[in-house]
Amino acid sequence: MALTTLKERVQQRTAAVASTEDIRHDRVDDVEETPAGRDHDVEQFRADIEAALPKHVSVDLFLAALRPVLPKLRKCTPASVLQSVITCARFGLIPDGHQAVITADDRIATFIATYHGYIELMYRSGLVRSVVAGLVYEGDEWDFVPTARVGEDFVHKPNVLASKKDRPVLFAYAFAWLEGGARSAVAIVTVEEAEEIRDEFSRAYQRAEANGKKDSLWHTRFPDMHLKTAIRRMAKLVPKSAELRALIEVEQAAEDGKPQILAAIDPETAALEADARQAARAAEASQDVPAPRLAVKKPRGRAKPRHRNRDRNKRR
């Protein structure tokens, strides 16, 4: 489904769009509650959602996870609700709170991928074999020596018998094993770093602080956001698929107050890029095979040069 077609459908189905030239996310003070949580509205958009979803994701599973979410978005503009849902569907992530979340951010419905969603897209890319991420608590055994060889540079042995409730988190970490056996560098984010990133870059956190609601994901799910920060830092150290790059752009669009749907990637483009990447790998692999040696034609024997003195003697 082309992006322009989706944009036209969003404009036609939502009365909150004020211009036919642009899809706006104006933050207004008074927005009437919309019946976004009714089942018949979900079914009305089934065709759009199914067209946006990758083939391996069931539309019924997606809608089942979406229905309990929509009543929480009643005060959001209809355009933002539809756009956040379609954007989530385009990445093939289920809005069940595990892979993705659709939340109300100052009356604008916003799609947010969890750290599980990031890991899911890394696996789908075919470039990453496994991802390891975790939180190190006070009392855990750990060691980090960046100059040591892979496998010995980072060690984490959690104290599984000690309660995490009374132990503060020291830092989050993430690394990935790539196809082919290589491993990425270890990305580490301390609690202080995570808080600095939250305070400076998360507008949702800033708004939730300002209005006193304190209902942003940084407020309600800090450990998950801490882990996500480490995984996003690690994502800069590994080969990224088109989908993963688009996901980063989509989340940045939300922070900038722009429509997320305009940053979402067209699945056909992602498929074409995957094919091109596979063809490039095949071409590189073919270069590793020694080229067959060409048959060399043996030169014929050359006549020995005649000696001038010998010729003169014969003439005498």
Chosen domain end from 239, 261, 291: 239
Q: What is the pLDDT of residue 277?
A: 55
245 & 161 share domain:
no
Residue 283 lies in a domain: no
247 & 104 share domain:
yes
At residue 17, the 3 state secondary structure works out as: coil
Q: What is the pLDDT of residue 286?
A: 54
Averaged pLDDT for residues 280-294: 55
* Cβ within 8 Å of residue 295, ≥6 positions away: none
190 exposure class (CB count in 10 Å sphere: 0-12, 13-18, 19+): middle
249 & 209 share domain:
no
* Residue (of 83, 99, 101, 2) closest to 45 by Cα position: 83
At residue 229, the 3 state secondary structure works out as: helix
109 & 2 share domain:
yes
The number of folded domains in the chain is 2
Chosen domain end from 239, 262, 292: 239
At residue 159, the 3 state secondary structure works out as: coil
Give the span between the Cα atoms of 121 and 267, in whole angstroms. Answer: 13
1 & 110 share domain:
yes
Cα three-residue angle 257-263-268, rounded to 5 degrees: 165
Residue 177 lies in a domain: yes
* Cβ within 8 Å of residue 198, ≥6 positions away: 205, 218, 225
216 & 269 share domain:
no
Does residue 284 or residue 7 have the better pLDDT? 284
Residue 92 lies in a domain: yes
What's the whole-number average pLDDT of the chain?
Answer: 81
Q: What is the pLDDT of residue 42?
A: 74
Residue 295 confidence (pLDDT) above 80: no
* Residue (of 162, 150, 137, 159) closest to 186 by Cα position: 150
Contact in structure between 178 and 128 (CB atoms under 8 Å): yes
Give the span between the Cα atoms of 92 and 120, in whole angstroms. Answer: 10
Cα atoms found within 13 Å of the Cα of residue 294, Cβ hemisphere only? 2
158 & 196 share domain:
yes
At residue 112, the 3 state secondary structure works out as: strand
73 & 136 share domain:
no
19 & 94 share domain:
yes
Q: What is the pLDDT of residue 265?
A: 58
Q: Per mean pLDDT, which range of 90-99, 162-171, 289-298 is the poorest? A: 289-298
Chosen domain end from 222, 239, 256: 239
Averaged pLDDT for residues 237-242: 89
Residue 120 lies in a domain: no
Residue 315 lies in a domain: no
107 & 250 share domain:
yes
Averaged pLDDT for residues 160-181: 95
> What's the domain range around 105?
1-114+241-275
Residue 289 lies in a domain: no
Residue 49 lies in a domain: yes
Reported as a single tens digit per residue, the pLDDT across 12-66 is 554 434 343 344 454 444 444 444 444 446 787 899 999 999 999 999 999 999 9
Q: What is the pLDDT of residue 173?
A: 98
Residue 18 lies in a domain: yes
Q: What is the pTM of this model?
A: 0.74
38 & 131 share domain:
no
Give the span between the Cα atoms of 88 and 278, in whole angstroms. Answer: 26
